[in-house]
Structure 1
Amino acid sequence: MLKKIKELLNLNKTLQEKESYLKKIEEKASDKEKIISDTIAEARASIQSESEEIIGTAKKEAEELKDTARSDLSNLISKKDKLEEETNEVEENLEKVNKELTKLMKAATKFKSESVGIKELIEKFPSAVDYTVIEQELMVLEESLGDGVLNTIIELDLHHKDSKILRKDMNAINREIRKVLTSYESRYTTKANKTIYHLMVIGLQAELQNILYTLSYTNLDKALENAKSLADKYLTICGNGNASILPTITRFLSELVPLFKKSIEIEYSYYVQKEKEKEEQRRIKEQMRQEAEEQRILEQERKKIEKEEEKYLKEISNNKELLSKETDLDKIAALVARLKELVEQVEKIEEQKEEIVKRANGKAGYVYVISNLGSFGDNMFKIGMTRRLNPLDRIDELGDASVPFKFDIHAMVFSDDAVGLEQKMHQTLKANRVNKINLRKEFFYSDIVNLENIIQDIDPTVEFTTTMKALEFRQSQSIKEEKSQVI
């Protein structure tokens, strides 16, 4: 910094010397122009006088000296042409001098504009002459900048640094940004313009750091808009300050802003991944909640069945006791028949108990495919899984007050590994998932024929209903049309 200030002071001194030299040149040019003008005027006067004298003499001696007069006249005409050529040459030289003067005037104006910054620095910061302080600050600045002013002075604690992949992507973008900054830095040859460029770069990078730091999962669009507004702001400032550099600044920002936007998208990828992780945790918790609820329901079913079993076993015991004492053949036959019925009931209950244990301890259950035409249209389906003994109970829950109409069931597939079957179907339709962040929302875009083919490939024996009944929705539409016709 000290070196730059010294150079600026020397530049100011040189400028003053050039201004003095320029004034001398202007004075000499003015004197030369006057001399040339006087010479031209005298030459023209002389030519006019000599021409008149020669013509007069020629007329008087025309009769006697025609040959001599013609010869002299020819010589005089040649002399006149030569003088005119010399005059034109002088005028051309004068024009060249004027052009040189114009160039010098422009150069003087440029030097004068660049010296304004130096004068203001001296006027506003008289303490800047304390070179010791400046040298100390310069050393601190150079140490902090590392490779130069094109580096970001302050790097905030951004989230992409926590990911090896995102950090690699961001480093690649930063290299592209530095490449652009370096390429445009070389276009500024004067120290004043290069200083302004460096200040602009520092401002742009600070703005980018702020945008990245304030980024969140919900404000990506705002961050991208801020990057665009940043470019518009700098274009406005440059256009208002010096319109001649506007085309260059426009090209510069048109290359830089897309890289800024990529930086924002890389940082945003962290929030997307975090949101996915949160949703996965929510999905797991929701799955655990559903499993706990299903376990509770299965336990209720088990207790209910055990009570029924206890009732049947008690009746069997009573009937056996009666049978042991009965002597009437008709009553004995009736008791035997009843005992047979009770034993069959107990066997069914045992099967139900085994099914409950299987559901509670394993992955058995139903995978369902359902739709809701009135709520979601004809190309959106929910594919889920339940361990309920009666899977329709789960479908009724989904069609509660949270949606305007009940769901239609297209398929209900029983599987010993319902969890795996559900995951397989979800993976098959992964590209068509409606909500790609919250995986608990098990809705997928598809047509009914495609879903039927998927189910048939899994289990050809499963009955698949392609019709969307949507009774409540169609009845509601019919009532609406009737009212419309009455009106």
Structure 2
Amino acid sequence: MSSNVISFLAAFIFIIITFLLIYIIYKLLKNKKKTAMRLQELETRFKPALDLDAEVLSLEKEIEEKRNAISDIQTSYATKKVIYDRLIKEVAIFDEKLAFAEMGVYEPHFDYSDSEDYKAAIIAVREKQKIMVSDKTAVLCPTEWSLGGSKAQGQTMTNRNIRLTLRAFNSECDASIANARWNNVNAMEKRILNAHNQIDKLNASNTTYISDGYLKLKLQELYLTHEYRENIKLEREEKTEASRLAREEQKLIRDMERAEEEEARYLRLLDKAKKEAEKSVGPKLDAYNEQIKMLESDFAEAHARFERAQAMAERTRSGYVYIISNIGSFGDDVIKIGLTRRLDPMDRVREFGDASVPFVFDTHAVIYSDDAPALERALHGEFERTRVNAQNYRKEFFRASLDDVEKAVKRLAPEASFFKDVEAQDYRETLARRHQTLVNTENTTMEPMLAFI
């Protein structure tokens, strides 16, 4: 074959191959376009599902972040709660209101009979403290320190630390003891213990600490000082009560003397009337006889009063047990059971209804007894569990119904009279007046509205 033919064939084959390639490329591009359109159609059709999956993933990621944040907050809260609780306890030591809310009942540590014994014990405890300070056993430092290679300078530094520790601890203890009251003495005890612990922690690096013996003496001083103050208050109240009883006894003696003078006066008048009657006749005699009868009656009453006053003045255990109530001042079912040795026991009841309470007391029983203190104790024992003031036994108020009190009186003093009526006149009249004022106010308010209608 000639070269021309070969060239023609080669060119023809090249052209065929080129067309084939172009056709294949065209088909590929066409299929790719269809595929892209198909993919776009599928993406459009399934876009909500795809968006939802993305939203779920986003929400799951956000939930995980929130969980981590909550976990961090819980961890932080637990740590801060521990710190908060510790600080609250420390603040309560210095805040009287918080101390009162968290106070416990103080149990006495000593049983001295009077304030002088407490005073002597306080002085003895303070002397022991001074001895411990002098003997260098109040604050201890077992480590022998050196400063700049010098043991002498190290000992000087240790002595300064001990003095500083003593000054800080003593100041805290003195403040606690000075501020101790009935409602915060337990808090002051915690304050001293807290000061001891905190000072020892601050001194841990130089191995200086307050001895347990010195701490014990400081706590004893706190207890003794508090009980000494309470004992003085109790003695003051006892003196007040003794003075009241002495005044009542003096009043009994004066009542007896007045009754004796009154008896003597009626006796003189009676003797004079009898002598005049012996000289009289007719209507005048009848008048004197009538006068004599009246004087004899008055003399008998005066003599009875004298004998009663004399008996009460001579026999200090005799007297009257009274049972009274005051619903206007204290509410229902609050009863006072007390004792008086006055010739007229109602004088004592009237004293209770003075300006210190808004309303007067109602009297339910006044019982004379040859052993009035025993009867009073027995009645108190019947209602001991409902005593209003469980701390001061001279406040003789009890929560009890009149029915229960009447049963107790009938059992312990069968002959005594008991009146369950509660008059409470001032109180009820006050309620009625307030009710009427309220009604008048409502009527006054309604009148303009009715007129307008």
TM-score, with structure 1 as normaliser: 0.49
Matched residue, 1:356: 309
1:443 counterpart = 2:396: yes
1:417 CA drift (Å)? 2.9
Moved more, 271-280 or 290-299: 290-299
Q: Residues 269 and 421 (structure 1 numbering): CA distance in 2 closer, same or farther, change over 3 Å?
A: same
Q: Residues 403 and 354 (structure 1 numbering): CA distance in 2 closer, same or farther, change over 3 Å?
A: same
Structure 1: give runs of 5+ residues left out of the alignment.
1-158, 175-181
Matched residue, 2:341: 387
Q: Provide, for residues 213-232 of structure 1, a one-character-per-residue CA deviation record: whole Å limited to 9, x for no partner.
A: 635xx745566656656777
Q: 1:374 aligns with which of 328, 331, 346?
A: 328
* In 2: Cα distance, 1:371 partner to 1:204 partner: 55
Does the 8 A contact of 1:228 with 1:257 survive in 2? no
* In 2: Cα distance, 1:459 partner to 1:284 partner: 27
Structure 2: give runs of 5+ residues left out of the alignment.
1-113, 130-136, 147-153, 443-453
* In 2: Cα distance, 1:456 partner to 1:194 partner: 77
* In 2: Cα distance, 1:404 partner to 1:436 partner: 25
Matched residue, 2:389: 434
Does the 8 A contact of 1:312 with 1:345 survive in 2? no
Does the 8 A contact of 2:319 with 2:370 survive in 1? yes
Letter in 2 for 1:210: D
1:368 CA drift (Å)? 0.5
1:414 counterpart = 2:368: yes
Matched residue, 2:249: 291
User: Paired residues, what number?
Assistant: 311
1:337 CA drift (Å)? 6.8
Q: Provide, for residues 222-272 of structure 1, a one-character-per-residue CA deviation record: whole Å limited to 9, x for no partner.
A: 666566567777888999x89x98xx99xx9xxx99997676344311221
More helix by share: 1
* In 2: Cα distance, 1:455 partner to 1:481 partner: 37
Matched residue, 2:279: 321
1:303 counterpart = 2:256: no
* In 1: Cα distance, 2:168 partner to 2:404 partner: 52
1:479 counterpart = 2:437: no
* In 2: Cα distance, 1:411 partner to 1:396 partner: 14
* In 1: Cα distance, 2:191 partner to 2:176 partner: 15
1:161 CA drift (Å)? 9.4
Moved more, 445-454 or 408-417: 445-454
Letter in 2 for 1:472: D
Letter in 2 for 1:288: A
* In 2: Cα distance, 1:396 partner to 1:257 partner: 54
Q: Residues 219 and 347 (structure 1 numbering): CA distance in 2 closer, same or farther, change over 3 Å?
A: closer
Q: 1:214 aligns with which of 157, 169, 178?
A: 178
Q: 1:162 aligns with which of 112, 117, 136?
A: 117
Q: 2:414 aligns with which of 460, 465, 477?
A: 460
Does the 8 A contact of 1:316 with 1:342 survive in 2? no
Does the 8 A contact of 1:370 with 1:382 survive in 2? yes
Q: Residues 482 and 238 (structure 1 numbering): CA distance in 2 closer, same or farther, change over 3 Å?
A: farther
2:336 aligned counterpart, secondary structure: strand
Does the 8 A contact of 1:367 with 1:384 survive in 2? yes
1:409 CA drift (Å)? 0.7
- Aligned-residue CA RMSD in angstroms? 5.2
* In 2: Cα distance, 1:269 partner to 1:260 partner: 14
Matched residue, 1:267: 225
Alignment of structure 1 residues 135-146 onto 2, 5 Å:
none
Q: Residues 258 and 410 (structure 1 numbering): CA distance in 2 closer, same or farther, change over 3 Å?
A: farther
1:451 CA drift (Å)? 3.2
1:447 CA drift (Å)? 0.8
* In 2: Cα distance, 1:204 partner to 1:356 partner: 66
Alignment of structure 1 residues 80-91 onto 2, 5 Å:
none
Q: Give % identity.
A: 23
* In 2: Cα distance, 1:258 partner to 1:481 partner: 63
1:405 aligned counterpart, secondary structure: coil
1:405 CA drift (Å)? 0.6
Does the 8 A contact of 1:371 with 1:380 survive in 2? yes
1:414 aligned counterpart, secondary structure: strand
Q: Residues 189 and 228 (structure 1 numbering): CA distance in 2 closer, same or farther, change over 3 Å?
A: farther
Q: Residues 202 and 453 (structure 1 numbering): CA distance in 2 closer, same or farther, change over 3 Å?
A: farther
Does the 8 A contact of 1:365 with 1:386 survive in 2? yes
Matched residue, 1:346: 299
Q: Residues 368 and 212 (structure 1 numbering): CA distance in 2 closer, same or farther, change over 3 Å?
A: same
* In 2: Cα distance, 1:331 partner to 1:199 partner: 105
Does the 8 A contact of 2:324 with 2:336 survive in 1? yes
Matched residue, 2:61: none
1:277 counterpart = 2:232: no
1:473 CA drift (Å)? 1.3
* In 2: Cα distance, 1:407 partner to 1:415 partner: 22
TM-score, with structure 2 as normaliser: 0.52
1:352 aligned counterpart, secondary structure: helix
Letter in 1 for 2:337: I
Q: Residues 268 and 422 (structure 1 numbering): CA distance in 2 closer, same or farther, change over 3 Å?
A: same
Letter in 2 for 1:281: K
Does the 8 A contact of 1:313 with 1:346 survive in 2? no
* In 2: Cα distance, 1:466 partner to 1:160 partner: 44
Q: Residues 397 and 305 (structure 1 numbering): CA distance in 2 closer, same or farther, change over 3 Å?
A: farther
* In 2: Cα distance, 1:478 partner to 1:189 partner: 85
Alignment of structure 1 residues 6-21 onto 2, 5 Å:
none
Q: Provide, for residues 400-426 of structure 1, a one-character-per-residue CA deviation record: whole Å limited to 9, x for no partner.
A: 223211101121101123344335545
* In 2: Cα distance, 1:200 partner to 1:380 partner: 57
Q: Residues 295 and 425 (structure 1 numbering): CA distance in 2 closer, same or farther, change over 3 Å?
A: farther
Q: Provide, for residues 267-290 of structure 1, a one-character-per-residue CA deviation record: whole Å limited to 9, x for no partner.
A: 311221222122111211121122
* In 1: Cα distance, 2:382 partner to 2:218 partner: 37
